[in-house]
Structure 1
Amino acid sequence: MYQRNDVREGMTVRSMDGEKLGKVFAVNEDEFLIEKGLFFPKDYVCRYAEISHLEDGEIILTHGKEGLHRFSFDGTRDSDVMAGTGGGAGVGPGALGLESRREVGTQDEVAIPVHGERLDVVKRSTQAGEVRVHKDVVVEEQHVTVPVRRERVTVERRAVQDRPAMNASFQEETVVVPLRAEEVEVRKRPVLEEEVVIRKQAVEEERDIDETVRRERVDIDGAEDSRKLGLNSDDPLLRR
């Protein structure tokens, strides 16, 4: 069974099905108070026997939200009102989950929680701009000089002294001598000339945020100086 030492202020309380019920803001020997909501808090009383287990610093109860007792500052619970025992015997500051202190020459004291708001800053990534790189096609002329070769004919006549002509046919004849030359053929092929590299770098800067928060302020009318009553300002139940 869990005890007071196992429960601390600020711990998250969840039901048996994982629903977040609130956070602990006050503890005593037998019970602890659960603060529900932000702007309209509903406080609940829970006993240590109702704790199923502790998981990752959170309190898991043995029942759901409907099993909690609603706390009322007039000294009653929902269950006490329904039973017709509200304000009767056995219902005191200790039974409501509040610290009860008694000193010589003073009366019983009830600590009333005073709430305030705190800012939680959450950062999320958004698109702040963009960089566009556009490519277009440029047509230009390129001059290239290419050496080519071709054959040409020179005619030379040489005098020959009397030699016998063995195959003389004395017929008309045309002799064809082919001439060769190189032709230029232009082919184009794509090549990679350069690369454009775009790098992104994270730059950290500070940004000032101004926001309003609310807190509750206690005004005490007709009471003596709290120092005469022996109150401790460090008491976790006297939060301002």
Structure 2
Amino acid sequence: MLVAAAVCPCPPLLVPQVAGGAAQELDGARAACADALGVLAAARPDRLVAVGSAPQGGGGAYPAGARGSFRGFGVDVGVRLGGAGTGPATSERELPLSLAVAAWLLERVGWEDAPVEGLAVPEDLAPRRCAETGAALPGRDARVALLVMGDASACRSVKAPGYLDERAAGFDTAAARALSTADLAALRALDPGLARELKAAGRAPWQVLAGAAEGTDLTGALLYEDAPYGVGYLVAAWS
């Protein structure tokens, strides 16, 4: 059964070494992510699954100990899913960026509250398949928590990665409202075509969350909402 969820953005800029001199600009987002992870710890889960997106056609499960890094951004920072105490890595596949950021967040708070595993879903996964994937996640343990990684639109300003798109603000507002109220129907209704055009990498992970939360009575709270660099970053906690 799903007992809690944390929703966090996954820009590599959350890692201070990547952000460099601009690191303090995302201090608020980092603090909100830490608060959301605190909600997960308070739920006392038996298992934590970090869910993020992977490039089109990618995806799959990642065991505890799977490695990732931010060396592609010019910094010698490596991470392991579940932290250094997870034992030897049992997978040679490197974590996709979304799960590498999740691993970094967990290491940052010293997560030791439950075993961790990762799941990357293709960014183009259809909503129905997302819901089915999510529905299967809680079945193996009595108490499961999710750390759901994903950004909103990347088209909120002319300097954004996707340039300015007038539809982006409305999409982000709808997503924020759904996450703040744990509105499963509203999350399922997010249009994958529009999300793709707006470069919203969180759409598929959020819809996996909606599938996992079906039949629960979780309530949501929005802890952070901003669009630095023209990209929508949302942090929410469900419990």
TM bin (shorter chain):
under 0.3
TM-score by length of 2: 0.26
| Larger strand share, 1 or 2 | 2
Greater RCO structure (CA 8 Å; 6+ sep): 2
| Larger helix share, 1 or 2 | 2
- Larger Rg: 1 or 2? 1
TM-score by length of 1: 0.26
